[in-house]
Amino acid sequence: MTTSRHITSSRLGRLSLLGKLAGGVVGGAVKEGARQLAQGQRPSIEKLLLTPANAHRLSERLSEMRGAAMKVGQLLSMDSGQILPPEMSEILAKLRQSAHHMPSTQVSQVLQTAWGKDWQRRLTRFDARPIAAASIGQVHSALLENDQPVAIKVQYPGIRRSIDSDVDNVASLLRLFNLIPDDVDITQVLNEAKRQLHVEADYLKEAEALDRFTRFVASDQRFELPEVVEALTTAEVLTMTYMAGAPIESLADQPVRQRNSVATAVLELALREVFQWGFVQTDPNFANYRYQVETGKIQLLDFGATRDYSEQQAAGLWTLLQACREGADVDIENAAASVGYLDESDPAGYRQGIVSLLRDASEPARAQGNYNFGRSDLADRMRDKLIHMRLHEKFWRLPPIGILFLHRKLGGMYMLLNRLRASVAVPELLSRLDHS
């Protein structure tokens, strides 16, 4: 059941939310500590801070801030190195699923600022209850004056003005809860969170990215993208034609041939984004893919989180992939160093661990025939190796931020293909890229 909640828009108000949270956390920790001491226990400060009650306080406050909290969490969770403890990962998962949305009065204020006091005259229908909510805005369905169905993305008020301070404050929260290992420097993640949020909070830039992506796939009849309604699009309101497809995961119960066809298409698209176009939609959320049953087209949504990769970066990644498919360990190590996974100061055990992980990650590309994503335990095996490295090597550092985004993209692809129980001839897709 969805609920509305006023989105705090002022920087002072948002800082106040964190102040109240810190006070509540400390109070909760003192109370829990006293209880455990009375029982003869000697609890650690980390366990006192992240009690279930405090975890609830944290997720509730972060859900009110949304943008910065969700973006920092997304960027940290893109790395598979288990930076965040399980408790925090659960909080972020709940945050992504949060059903809180702006009340209609706030939505009206945003639309009035964007379109004028008579904004309702531009539509014949506007559904006040959103059909989707994300980190910095929510989406409403509506009808234009000509009865054209549209989707209107409305940005939460105050998000753009508070990005930098929100990210800094969320980082302080992570340190308060001792959720970031002392040996991990997240400075680049925090800086990237600010940069990415500033880009995503400009819906005119998203409209440009959507137009650019549309041109890339224009000749591929497997895909369909919404069109921007320019007259009703501003930096804080994005209006697009409505895509009425079904959730792509609904295909999981369809015939195997259909599932494999869709899976092949979305994976080929992802590979072309990285290796051919150098323009990647980095958010692989299932909700960004829809399936139009009547036409068989795959509908692509949400281009706020796009990222450019240079020809040099794409070439380095291709060399790394080929080394993982056919090369010796030294070839993988050299290619990994060239894209930023390794440097000369890394200990030998860590270097060997990265080579092993990269071989695992490229397993589908070495398959003989189709790779069965539905039966694969690849994600579990990689997770276990990463945990082992963190516990036994006592060493970990974040790869370059651009690589983190690719982790997110390709990891999301793997999860989608696993959900579809699909089998895909990955080497065949790569051979197409090599010759196209």
* Lowest pLDDT segment from 91-100, 240-249, 405-414: 91-100
Most confident by average pLDDT, 39-53, 86-100, 101-115, 168-182: 101-115
Q: Is 283 a catalytic residue?
A: yes
Contacts of 381 (CB under 8 A, 6+ apart): 360
pLDDT, residue 65, reads 59
User: Per-residue pLDDT tens for 272-308?
Assistant: 999 999 999 998 888 899 999 999 999 999 999 899 9
Euclidean distance between CA atoms 364 and 373, whole angstroms = 8
- Residue 382's pLDDT band (cuts 50, 70, 90): confident
pLDDT exceeds cutoff 80 at 62: no
Percentage, residues of the chain above pLDDT 70: 72
Q: What was the pLDDT predicted at 136?
A: 84
Residue whose token pair is 């404050």: 169
234 — pLDDT class (breaks 50, 70, 90)? very high
- pTM of the model as a whole: 0.82
* Active-site pick, 79, 166, 283, 346: 283
Instruction: State the pLDDT at residue 37.
Output: 38
In terms of Cα–Cα distance, which of 381, 403, 388 is closest to 350?
388
What local confidence, expressed as pLDDT, does residue 144 receive? 96
Instruction: Report the DSSP pairing between strands 289-292 and 246-247.
Output: antiparallel
pLDDT value of position 70? 66
Average pLDDT rounded to a whole number, residues 179-187: 67
The pLDDT tens digits for 31-60 are: 444 344 344 444 443 443 455 555 555 656
Q: pLDDT band at 1, cuts 50/70/90?
A: very low
pLDDT digits (tens, 9 = 90+) for 299-331: 999 999 899 999 999 999 999 999 999 999 999
Q: Which residue has the higher pLDDT, 189 or 65?
A: 189
Which pLDDT belongs to residue 36? 40
- For the segment 125-159, what is each residue's pLDDT rounded down to a tens digit? 999 999 988 778 899 999 999 999 999 999 988 88
The larger pLDDT score, comparing residue 118 to residue 395, is at 118
Q: Rounded to whole angstroms, how far apart are CA atoms 342 and 428?
A: 29
CA atoms within 13 A on the CB side of 426: 22
CA distance 123 to 145: 5
Number of Cβ atoms within 10 Å of the Cβ of 344: 6
- For residue 399, the number of C-alpha atoms closer than 13 Å in the C-beta half-sphere is 22
Residue 270's pLDDT is 96
Residue 120: exposure state from Cβ atoms within 10 A (0-12, 13-18, ≥19): middle
For residue 9, pLDDT beyond 60: no
Q: Rounded distance, CA 416 to CA 423, Å?
A: 12
Per-residue pLDDT for 77 more than 80?
no
Percentage of residues in the chain with pLDDT exceeding 90?
Answer: 51
Distance CA 423, CA 92 (A): 31
Q: pLDDT-derived band of residue 27, with 50, 70 and 90 as boundaries?
A: very low
